[in-house]
Copies of this chain bind each other. A is one copy, B any other.
Amino acid sequence: MNSMPQHDVGSPASQARLARGLEVLARIDGDAGRAVLDALADVSPALGHHIAAFAFGDIYDRPGLDPRSRQLVTLGALTALGGCEAQLKVHVGAALNVGLSVEEITEAILHASVYCGFPRALNAMFVARDVFAARGVTPVASPA
């Protein structure tokens, strides 16, 4: 649009944050996260930049909470928000990537039902089911 680098996305410092964020994104979300950014390229690369640079480069990589714990918070938040099935899909995959077990993920969603009700928990659980199937991981048959 213009040849001047825009302050929030075009400066060397913001590019360094972006690079860090893309590295974290690849480590946590794998290809699924990258695919979201690519899908934004034609409509709002700036949104993709800030998701990578801020959400992953800045926040996710802070030392005060381990990745496993961050994914538990994320599962709780996305299940409760509702209407975020596409993002839940990415983050159920990410939860597996950082070492949460299939059972822990389904327990987290069941636990969230207490706070946000059964409909949102059902929607989240069916997303989890689809991710597990796509990844070829199976919930251990639990009693009941």
Contact = CB atoms under 8 A, between A and B. Distances in A.
Contacts of A79: 77
Contact of A59 (B13, B16, B50): B50
A108 interface: yes
Contact of A45 (B7, B116, B144): B144
Q: Give chain A's interface secondary structure class.
A: helix
Among A13, A43, A119, A129, residue most surrounded by chain B Cβ atoms (within 10 Å): A119
28 contacts: A7-B20, A8-B57, A8-B58, A8-B62, A18-B144, A39-B126, A43-B126, A43-B139, A44-B125, A46-B142, A47-B106, A47-B110, A50-B59, A51-B118, A54-B54, A54-B114, A59-B110, A62-B107, A64-B103, A73-B75, A73-B112, A74-B115, A76-B76, A81-B82, A81-B117, A84-B119, A87-B119, A117-B117
